[in-house]
Amino acid sequence: MNFINPKTDYAFKKIFGSSESQDILKSFLNALIYEGKSIIKKLEIIDPNLPPRVQGLKDTYLDVRAFLNNDTIAIIEMQVLNVQSFDQRVLFNAAKTYSCQLQKGEGYRMLKPVIALTITDFEMFPNSENVISRFVYKEETTNLIYTKNDMKLIFVELPKFKRELAELETLADKWIYFMKYARSLNEVPETMNIVPEIHQAFVIANQVNLTREELEDMERREMFIYDQEGAILLGREEGREEGMREKAIAIVQELLPRLDDETISQITGISIEEVRSLRSSN
């Protein structure tokens, strides 16, 4: 068997956001939000598009959005690329989901809690070893929780998950393993197959059950992601080189009153012509 990559947005939505995915999503959210407890008994998957209510604000496209039976709205996003200001985008989406609930004339008491669950294929918090991180509003010194935790941000960082198949213990372990490794598997591991919802997720992810058009779309999406990832890495490398150049020029400026142009060029790596140009401009 060959499985599609659940980390791409198309596949993620097909597995967790389709009409046949309610039980899958319920198990997934119970595992990652409620530590495996059966808090969510039922849910309703809704259109993930969050149109703007205020002129000038941009539309927001989420991967999956659902109303939970415990009076909570869950928004779920899978992010492969570590793009600029992604942390702010997560907060923006959560705040927008929270604020756009009210219709004209409704009071604030009608607002429902929002949980933003974000799965990343990169490290969001390099100074923390936690695979799952949970953020709520608290008072800085006493940790007093603000209101009813009306907005909660939960992050799952896939690169930090190091458990092997034989080491999977919790439902969260199994779902995270599915997210990270399903694409590389050629059969459903027995320890995961015994969970009906994970079994069904593998059925949906099995390439045999997809049309040629769906497979081509997903392959193009994967290639696009790899291209974007390469472009981001190249940009950061060039940015580092530019940063080093700026530092070298700053050193040149300090050395100009003390040393000759040739010596400064040898020390800093800046061409002698540019050193002379800098000296003349000073």
- What would the pLDDT profile of 201-221 be if each residue is shown by its tens digit? 999 999 988 888 888 877 777
Of 44-48, 153-157, 218-222, highest mean pLDDT: 153-157
pLDDT recorded at residue 103: 82
List, edge to edge, every strand of the sheet that includes 114-120.
43-46, 64-68, 72-79, 114-120, 151-157, 132-135
Give 52's pLDDT tier (boundaries 50, 70, 90). very low
111 C-beta neighbours (distance < 10 Å), count: 16
- Using alpha carbons, select from 88, 86, 122, 129 the residue that is nearest to residue 233: 122
Q: What is the mean pLDDT of the chain?
A: 85
pLDDT recorded at residue 250: 80
With H, G, I as helix, E, B as strand and everything else as coil, classify residue 240: helix
pLDDT recorded at residue 57: 38
What is the token pair recorded at 91? 């907060």
pLDDT recorded at residue 59: 39
Per-residue pLDDT at 262 exceeds 80: no
Helical H segments across 111-259, by residue range: 171-181, 190-193, 196-205, 212-255
- What would the pLDDT profile of 71-129 be if each residue is shown by its tens digit? 899 999 999 888 778 899 899 999 999 988 888 788 888 899 999 999 999 999 999 99
**Running DSSP on this structure, what letter comes out for residue 82?**
-
Q: Are the beta carbons of 38 and 30 closer than 8 angstroms?
A: yes
Proportion of the chain above pLDDT 90, given as a percent: 52
pLDDT recorded at residue 242: 60
The sign one gets for the Cα dihedral 97, 71, 33, 76 is negative
Q: Are the beta carbons of 198 and 174 closer than 8 angstroms?
A: yes
Q: Span 258-267, mean pLDDT? A: 73
Of 42-46, 49-53, 196-200, 236-240, highest mean pLDDT: 196-200
Q: Are the beta carbons of 40 and 81 closer than 8 angstroms?
A: no
Whats the size of the chain, residue-wise? 282
CA distance 154 to 75: 10
**Running DSSP on this structure, what letter comes out for residue 135?**
E
pLDDT recorded at residue 159: 96
What is the token pair recorded at 259? 């040393």
Give the number of C-alpha atoms closer than 13 A to the C-alpha of residue 219, restricted to the C-beta side.
Answer: 8
Burial class (CB in 10 A: 0-12, 13-18, 19+), 32: buried
CA distance 197 to 79: 22
Per-residue pLDDT at 228 exceeds 80: no
Domain boundaries, the chain: 9-210, 211-282
pLDDT recorded at residue 16: 95
